[in-house]
């Protein structure tokens, strides 16, 4: 099996894997970074969202062989002390119900706020539209993203 | 009277036991499962009890910090937060000194820890308060012994015990003594007006871990030497495995074993991806003895039931036949629902390690005791050999009651002789479901001289009919001649409980039917409900499940908060109210039109769920339930063709997403009654409220879910 050098959460990591293995399963099964979740495997739910060079990307669609020098950030590496403004807002608003989708939601929101630091409500709703929350905690996700945006600007 | 060890009341029936901890502090064990049953009469011999008989623990450290080990599975309903809040309230400690942890199973002292998924605040309310209050009394007694005073002259608050001389001791300072005292009985509980924790916002106890991505869920669980298993199951209900060829599977790097069991084949591998890839590479031949089922046949069968006369009568008041014969007018409508998959975002999964010595099971499960029993039976092992550990669940909605995935894991591990984690792909999860059954209702009402005189509800359902309490829900007791009849059609498709079982669709049917009746009678829909409820207020029928008065209060609150009687330009309002899971809920939906299609803008929900333990959690639950109700009424759709489900993943199966989500405003009816369910009752009225608003906007009645199909069909009609 080929080996790959990946840069994940600031660390250089070497993994051995079949070339078509999605990054999602490398993170979860090989590297114990289980904060990135599996929900659908076909880019429909957003539970597996990570950042590739700062851009929200579905790790279930990202074959390990296609990665080269990209910087990958997972929920575990979003902030050192778990205190990214979005994580703080998530706690303040008490967003999660079952919690399973939330890491993906936060990762999508983090990359979105980088591109659009002062979003309107409608822009937030559109940006977060790709992330499913089966528990439908949408009202609070919307509120928490808006709150974080305010704090960050 | 001085308090001594011997004159403290002691109850054999008590469900608590205490012990000093070697490292300092004390531990109080109690059996939440036994204690929380309504008819709780623990039949345990307290003297011979050891800690193995308990499943929940409170640890009080000598610095006064309290740890509550909750055995309760967390599905997302917030019980893992709410239940400890109740204990902490009566124990009288500050919430920020309380730490809640999911009791670990694999430590010696917690063996045989199991808890029922059906444990709810409703059943736990008395037991949890008793536990907290008893522990507090024990600490007070210990302080009294230390001071040599009568315990009755001492009191405790916020973790500090005070005597008549104003001397104080912290809980942590008396734990050693307390652990040697007998357990007091008949302790006094607080009045709701004295609560300082219950009724305040406490954030989800797992919140930190959730937002930083720490392992919590079943899918995150790992054990030494574990293989991942992907299971190939018959693609259509009613099919059997004839033969299979695994040549290509074995070529997949990482695949270690291919194991046939029953009509299924498990592919084991060193990682999930390889297991899934290996499964896809199997070439299987399937057969079936009988004709495979399709929604077309189901429709015909269910319609035949409704047209026929062969029903079980579930409740009958007065003389419905006579009322219908004498009526000025009869209104009759038929309502139609599809199957629904649960679609928990965390796909089904379970870990099993079956060895000659024991069976270790870990994963997300709502029914640990039942499932452990079934695994024991399946593998012909003793129940005592099974250890079952629960993880947090990425959604339940009823799907994780069934444990089929745990049985698969156990069977595969037993055959493979290694620890195995079975992981469903989304496709497995959606196509091997235990679905909300497709149901049809036919409701008829007789009207005479402007009054509803008779009401007949007929249910035709796949596999099973409504449970016994439902025929006693609204409008039972409101209409003099009332009847509920049911009949089911036996199908190969596996069906079961789905969030708010039966009422999730029934409420839509009834609540839109009443909207039509109001229109027929030229009455305001809210007025009609309030008028009908007067008839049930003084009922002597103890079978009636709901309260006329509480429903009236709830409806009035919703009407007030939504300004029901005021009209806003371009905003169309719909109303529905429903009682389920002991909670009364009324909802007003506001919609607007965009390109001729309705957009749900806002839901105003009024809820009577008794005392609210944790308002932020309660609001979250109601919001989630309402949106879930709207989402599935609008989009939820699963049908079958030749035994195969019509959808496999979220590319074609539509769930509600943020941009389709209205704001949900939640108001609670304030009272001091026992707390009731929150996870489910927000859902049933939502679809009806939206459908009734759609009728206002488009003058179109909806009789079938999902609405989106009906609306798109009619839109094409309009556009020609
Ligand atoms: S798992 Fe990647 S989008 Fe759903
Ligand atoms: S909180 Fe359960 S899926 Fe989002």
Instruction: Give yes or no: residues B128 and B228 share one domain.
Output: no
The model's pTM: 0.92
Q: pLDDT exceeding 70 applies to what percent of chain A? A: 100
- What are residue B16's DSSP bridge partners? B30
Ligand 1 site-directed mutation target among A43, A128, A131, most atoms within 8 Å of CB: A43
Given a cut of 50, the residues of chain B with pLDDT beneath it are 1-13, 34-52, 105-119, 720
Q: A82-140: per-residue pLDDT in tens? A: 999 999 999 999 999 999 999 999 999 999 999 999 999 999 999 999 999 999 999 99
Q: Domains in chain A, start-ordered, CATH in brackets?
A: 3-78 (3.10.20.30), 85-152 (1.10.150.120)
Residue B676 lies in a domain: yes
Q: Would an 8 Å CB–CB cutoff place B467 in contact with chain A?
A: no
- Tell me, what's the pLDDT at B69? 78
Q: Which of A25, A102, A126 sits opposite B659 (nearest CB)?
A: A126
Both B557 and B606 in one domain: the answer is yes
Here the contacts of A3-10 (C-beta below 8 Å, separation 24 or greater) are A4/A64, A4/A65, A4/A67, A6/A64, A6/A67, A6/A72, A7/A69, A7/A70, A7/A71, A7/A72, A8/A33, A8/A72, A8/A73, A8/A74, A8/A77, A9/A33, A9/A72, A9/A73, A9/A74, A9/A76, A9/A77, A10/A71, A10/A77
Residues B184 and B285 in one domain: no
User: ipTM greater than 0.85, yes or no?
Assistant: yes
A77 to chain B, any CB pair closer than 8 A? The answer is no
Asked whether residue B93 is domain-assigned, the answer is yes
Q: How many domains are contained in chain B?
A: 3
B384, B517: one domain: no
* Per-residue model confidence (pLDDT) at position B49: 40
pLDDT mean over A44-55:
98
DSSP secondary structure, B438-480, as one string: PEEEEEEEEEETTEEEEEEEEEEEES----TTGGGSTTTTTSS
Query: Looking at chain B, how many residues does it have?
Result: 720
Q: What is the mean pLDDT of chain A?
A: 97
Domain harbouring B270, CATH code: 3.30.365.10
Q: What ligand 1 atom has the least distance to the C-alpha of A61?
A: 2
Position B342 in a domain: no
Residue ending a domain, among B211, B235, B266, is: B211
pLDDT for the residue B428:
98
Residues whose CB falls within 8 Å of the CB of residue B659, separated by 6 or more in sequence, listed in order: A125, A126, A129
Say whether residue B274 is in contact with chain A using an 8 A CB cutoff: yes
Select the residue from B211, B605, B628 to test the A interface by mutation, using most A Cβ atoms within 10 A: B211
Same domain, B43 and B144: yes
Structural domain including B408 reads 218-289+348-423
From the CA of B400, how far away is ligand 2's center (Å)? 15
Domain identity same for B536 and B640 = yes
Together in a domain, B168 and B236: no
pLDDT of residue B99: 85
**Is B241 in the same domain as B203?**
no
| pLDDT score of B111 | 31
Q: Is A134 in the pocket of ligand 2 (CB under 6 A)?
A: yes
My answer on whether B176 and B27 are in the same domain is yes
Residue B318 included in any domain: no
Distance from CA of A69 to the nearest CA of B (A): 23
Contact A35 B213 (CB under 8 A): yes
Domain-embedded: residue B133: yes
Same-domain status, B694 and B599: yes
Conformational region of residue B343, where left means phi above 0, alpha means psi within -120 to 50, and beta covers everything else: left
Question: What is the model's pLDDT at position B3?
Answer: 42
Same structural domain for residues B175 and B230?
Answer: no
**Are residues B228 and B191 located together in one domain of the fold?**
no
Which residues of chain A have a CB within 8 Å of the CB of B616?
94
Q: Which of residues 33-72 of A touch B (CB under 8 A)?
A: 33-42, 44-45, 47
């Amino acid at each position: 099996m080929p080996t790959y050098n990946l840069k994940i959460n600031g660390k250089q990591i070497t993994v051995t894997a079949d070339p078509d293995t999605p990054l999602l399963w490398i993170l979860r099964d090989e590297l114990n970074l289980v904060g990135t979740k599996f929900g659908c495997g076909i880019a429909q739910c957003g539970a597996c969202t990570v950042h590739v060079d700062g851009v929200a990307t579905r790790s279930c669609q990202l074959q390990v062989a296609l990665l080269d020098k990209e910087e990958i950030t997972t929920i575990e590496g979003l902030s050192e002390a778990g205190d990214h403004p979005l994580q703080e807002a998530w706690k303040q608003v008490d967003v999660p119900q079952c919690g399973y989708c939330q890491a993906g939601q936060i990762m999508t929101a983090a990359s979105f706020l980088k591109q659009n630091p002062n979003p309107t409500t409608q822009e937030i709703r559109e940006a977060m539209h790709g992330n499913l929350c089966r528990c439908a905690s949408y009202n609070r996700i919307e509120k928490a993203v808006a709150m974080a945006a305010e704090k960050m600007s | 009277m001085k308090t001594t060890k011997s004159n403290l009341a002691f109850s054999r029936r008590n469900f608590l036991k205490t012990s000093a901890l070697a490292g300092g502090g004390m531990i109080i064990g109690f059996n939440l499962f036994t204690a929380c049953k309504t008819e709780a009469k623990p039949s345990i011999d307290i003297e011979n009890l050891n800690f193995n008989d308990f499943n929940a623990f409170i640890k009080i450290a000598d610095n006064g910090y309290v740890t509550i080990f909750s055995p309760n599975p967390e599905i997302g309903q917030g019980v893992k937060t709410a239940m400890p809040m109740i204990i902490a309230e009566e124990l009288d400690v500050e919430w920020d000194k309380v730490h809640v942890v999911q009791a670990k199973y694999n430590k010696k002292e917690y063996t045989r820890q199991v808890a029922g998924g059906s444990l709810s605040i409703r059943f736990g309310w008395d037991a949890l308060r008793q536990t907290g209050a008893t522990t507090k009394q024990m600490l007070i007694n210990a302080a009294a012994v230390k001071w040599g005073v009568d315990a009755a002259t001492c009191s405790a608050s916020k973790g500090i015990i005070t005597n008549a001389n104003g001397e104080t001791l912290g809980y942590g300072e008396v734990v050693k003594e307390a652990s040697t005292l007998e357990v007091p009985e008949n302790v006094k509980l607080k009045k709701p007006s004295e609560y300082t924790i219950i009724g305040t916002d406490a954030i989800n106890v797992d919140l930190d871990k959730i937002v930083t991505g720490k392992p919590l869920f079943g899918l995150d669980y790992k054990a030494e030497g574990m293989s991942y298993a992907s299971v190939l199951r018959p693609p259509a209900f009613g099919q059997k495995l004839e033969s299979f060829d695994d040549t290509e599977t074995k070529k997949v790097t990482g695949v270690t074993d291919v194991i046939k069991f029953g009509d299924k084949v498990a592919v084991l591998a060193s990682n999930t991806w390889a297991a899934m890839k290996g499964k896809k590479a199997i070439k299987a031949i399937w057969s079936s003895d009988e004709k495979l089922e399709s929604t077309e046949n189901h429709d015909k069968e269910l319609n035949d039931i409704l047209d026929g006369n062969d029903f079980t009568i579930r409740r009958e008041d007065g003389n419905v036949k006579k009322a219908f014969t004498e009526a000025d007018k009869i209104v009759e409508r038929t309502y139609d629902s599809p199957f629904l998959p649960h679609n928990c975002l965390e796909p089904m999964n379970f870990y099993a390690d079956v060895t000659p010595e024991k069976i270790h099971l870990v994963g997300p499960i709502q029914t640990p005791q039942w499932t452990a029993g079934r695994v024991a039976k399946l593998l012909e092992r003793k129940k005592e050999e099974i250890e079952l550990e629960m993880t947090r669940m990425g959604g339940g909605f009823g799907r994780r009651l069934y444990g089929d995935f745990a049985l698969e894991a156990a069977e595969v591990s037993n055959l493979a002789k290694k620890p195995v984690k079975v992981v469903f792909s989304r496709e497995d999860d959606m196509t091997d479901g235990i679905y909300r059954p497709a149901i049809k209702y036919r409701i008829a009402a007789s009207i005479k001289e402007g009054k509803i005189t008779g009401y007949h509800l007929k249910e035709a359902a796949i596999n099973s009919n409504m449970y016994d309490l439902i025929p006693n829900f609204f409008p039972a007791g409101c209409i003099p001649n009332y009847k509920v009849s049911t009949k089911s059609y036996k199908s190969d498709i596996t069906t079961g409980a789905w969030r708010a079982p039966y009422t999730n669709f029934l409420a839509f049917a009834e609540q839109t039917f009443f909207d039509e009746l109001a229109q027929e009678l030229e009455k305001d829909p809210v007025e009609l409900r309030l008028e009908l409820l007067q008839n049930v207020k003084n009922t002597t029928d103890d079978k009636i499940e709901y309260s006329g008065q509480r429903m009236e209060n709830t409806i009035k609150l919703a009407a007030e908060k939504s300004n029901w009687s005021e009209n806003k330009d371009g905003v169309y309002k719909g109303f529905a109210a429903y009682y389920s899971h002991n909670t009364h809920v009324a909802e007003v939906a506001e919609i607007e039109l965009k390109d001729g299609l309705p957009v749900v803008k806002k839901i105003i929900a009024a809820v009577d769920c008794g005392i609210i333990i944790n308002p932020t959690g309660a609001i979250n639950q109601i919001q989630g339930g309402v949106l879930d109700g709207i989402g599935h009424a609008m989009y939820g759709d699963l049908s079958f063709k030749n035994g195969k489900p019509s959808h496999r993943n979220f590319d074609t199966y539509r769930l509600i997403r943020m941009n389709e989500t209205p704001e949900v405003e939640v108001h609670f009816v304030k009272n001091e009654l026992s707390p009731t369910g929150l996870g489910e009752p927000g859902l049933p009225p939502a679809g009806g409220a939206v459908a009734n608003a759609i009728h206002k906007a488009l003058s179109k009645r909806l009789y079938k879910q999902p609405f989106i199909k009906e609306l798109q069909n009619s839109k094409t009609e309009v556009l020609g």
